[in-house]
């Protein structure tokens, strides 16, 4: 049995994970863009012409009009399709926070870029006319230009524009995690390459979360003592190592549950959980549903036909506001 929710392919032609995906869409007739899906990117969509319906998890659908922007944080289930008898032109910007990491940075920059913001809602809507909308639209159009033209140094320029976009989103709709109280200065061997060190740690976790890794193991890989690594990681991410790793594993489990027909036990093991009972407990604590309940909830298509979709989108449109939702 295939589920109606899919995990979006995030690999490039070589099989490596893409760090960003920026493109424009242009459709002249009604189309549904596939089934509900989920991905690890931050996603922003700007409507240049026409209308687009967004269905986010189990909430009422919203209709985006020309000039509107929607922002979707990572690992949120969503679906998009056009309204009947309308054209559509849009800009889509997806990116991983790891791509934003500069080669050299200050401590305050590290805190802003890598301490995960609390996006309390599963989507944010910026209607045309809002000051924040105008700024986001300019950045997104610039990102598309850089991607299309690919002039010398375009990836460096693109990183700068995406950092600007990310910070603008945090300021507009995120509540940044408050870092712990300032700790004593880090050891010299760590302070000299703080940015690169943290980047290596996060990449290592992404590549090895499915294995039974320990904080001591990662500390050894980084050439740090257990004690210094613990302080360094908490200072940089505002989370304990085990908390961060658990959240990463649960996010990947959410994606796996929507992607295939593996058993709960297999998904548990694939995501680094040794005991399935522990996985089920932690998954329910985070999502309010057991893994099996989560699968069943998103197994059925959202709308039976276009008429229902249009009716629901009209209701959502009438109840919308000009503030991020």
Range list of H helices, the chain: 107-114, 131-149, 154-173, 188-191, 194-208, 215-221, 226-237, 241-259, 264-270, 276-287, 291-297, 306-318
Per-residue pLDDT, 12:
57
At 99, list the tokens: 């791509």
At 58, list the tokens: 């189990």
Is 21 in contact with 92 (CB distance < 8 Å)?
yes
More confident residue, 99 or 266: 266
List pLDDT tens digits, range 290-320: 999 988 887 543 333 334 434 433 333 333 3
Q: 33 and 139 in one domain?
A: yes
Report the percentage of the chain scoring pLDDT > 90: 36
Q: 268 and 285 in one domain?
A: yes
Q: 249 and 233 in one domain?
A: no
Residue 74 belongs to a domain: yes
List pLDDT tens digits, range 194-223: 767 887 888 899 889 999 999 999 999 888
Q: 38 and 120 in one domain?
A: yes
Whole-angstrom distance, CA of residue 154 vs CA of residue 160 = 10
Whole-angstrom distance, CA of residue 307 vs CA of residue 303 = 9
DSSP secondary structure string for all residues of 147-208: HHH--TTHHHHHHHHHHHHHHHHHHHH-BPPPPPSPPSPPPHHHHTTHHHHHHHHHHHHHHH
Tell me: pLDDT of 21 over 60.
yes
Q: 171 and 28 in one domain?
A: yes
Residue 102 belongs to a domain: yes
Q: 166 and 120 in one domain?
A: yes
Q: What is the mean pLDDT of residues 260-264?
A: 86
Phi, psi of 121 (to 5 degrees): -105, 160
Which of the 8 DSSP states describes residue 209? T
Residue 322 belongs to a domain: no
The residue out of 146, 177, 208 marking a domain boundary is: 177
- How many folded domains does the chain comprise? 3
Residue 318 belongs to a domain: no
Residue 38 belongs to a domain: yes
The residue out of 177, 200, 219 marking a domain boundary is: 177
Is 92 in contact with 147 (CB distance < 8 Å)?
no
Q: 34 and 116 in one domain?
A: yes
Whole-number mean pLDDT of the chain? 77
Three-class DSSP category at 55: strand
Q: 199 and 69 in one domain?
A: no
Q: 232 and 260 in one domain?
A: no
Q: 164 and 45 in one domain?
A: yes
Q: 155 and 38 in one domain?
A: yes
Query: 13 Cβ partners below 8 Å, 6+ apart?
Result: none
Per-residue pLDDT, 8:
54
List pLDDT tens digits, range 109-161: 444 444 455 566 778 889 999 889 999 999 999 999 999 999 999 998 999 99
Tell me: pLDDT of 71 over 90.
yes
pTM over 0.75: no
Tell me: pLDDT of 276 over 90.
yes
Q: 209 and 122 in one domain?
A: no
At 260, list the tokens: 């295939």
Domain around 200 = 180-237
Strand partners, 240: none
Q: Of 77, 76, 88, 93, give the one whose Cα is nearest residue 32.
A: 88
- Residue 58 pLDDT grade (very low, low, confident, very high; cuts 50, 70, 90): confident
Per-residue pLDDT, 175:
47
- Residue 258 pLDDT grade (very low, low, confident, very high; cuts 50, 70, 90): confident
Three-class DSSP category at 283: helix
Which of the 8 DSSP states describes residue 210? T
What CATH number does the domain containing 86 carry? 2.60.120.280
Poorest-confidence range of 58-67, 193-202, 248-257, 298-307? 298-307
Tell me: pLDDT of 100 over 90.
no
- Residue 324 pLDDT grade (very low, low, confident, very high; cuts 50, 70, 90): very low
Residue 1 belongs to a domain: no
What CATH number does the domain containing 283 carry? 1.10.10.60
Is 5 in contact with 37 (CB distance < 8 Å)?
yes
Tell me: pLDDT of 4 over 60.
no
Per-residue pLDDT, 80:
85
Per-residue pLDDT, 193:
62
Whole-angstrom distance, CA of residue 241 vs CA of residue 238 = 9
List pLDDT tens digits, range 151-179: 999 998 999 999 999 888 888 875 444 44
């Amino acid at each position: 049995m295939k589920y109606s929710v899919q995990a979006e392919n995030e690999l490039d032609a070589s099989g490596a994970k893409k760090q960003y995906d920026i493109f424009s869409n242009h459709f002249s007739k009604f189309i549904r863009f596939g089934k509900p899906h989920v991905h690890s990117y931050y996603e922003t969509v700007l409507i240049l012409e026409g209308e687009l319906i967004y269905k986010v998890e189990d909430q009422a659908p919203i209709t985006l009009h020309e000039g509107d922007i929607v922002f979707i944080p990572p690992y949120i289930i969503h679906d998009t399709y056009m309204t009947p008898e309308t054209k559509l032109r849009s800009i889509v910007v997806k990116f991983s926070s790891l791509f934003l990491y500069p080669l050299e940075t200050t401590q305050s920059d590290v805190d802003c870029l890598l301490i995960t913001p609390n996006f309390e809602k599963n989507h944010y809507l910026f209607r045309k006319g809002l000051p924040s909308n105008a700024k986001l639209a300019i950045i997104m159009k610039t990102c598309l230009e850089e991607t299309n033209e690919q002039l010398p140094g375009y990836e460096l320029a693109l990183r700068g524009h995406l950092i600007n976009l990310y910070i603008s989103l945090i300021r507009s709709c995120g509540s940044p995690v408050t870092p712990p109280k300032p700790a004593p200065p880090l050891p010299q061997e760590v302070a000299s390459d703080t940015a690169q060190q943290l980047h290596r740690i996060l990449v290592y976790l992404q590549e090895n979360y499915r294995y039974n890794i320990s904080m001591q193991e990662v500390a050894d890989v980084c050439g740090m003592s257990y004690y210094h690594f613990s302080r360094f990681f908490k200072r940089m991410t505002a989370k304990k190592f085990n908390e961060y790793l658990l959240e990463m594993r649960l996010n990947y489990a959410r994606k796996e549950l929507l992607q295939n027909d593996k058993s709960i036990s297999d998904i548990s093991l694939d995501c680094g959980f040794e005991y399935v009972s522990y996985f089920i407990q932690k998954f329910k604590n985070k999502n309010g549903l057991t893994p099996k309940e989560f699968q069943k909830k998103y197994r059925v298509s959202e709308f039976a036909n276009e008429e229902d979709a249009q009716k629901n989108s009209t209701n959502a449109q009438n109840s919308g506001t000009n503030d991020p939702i």
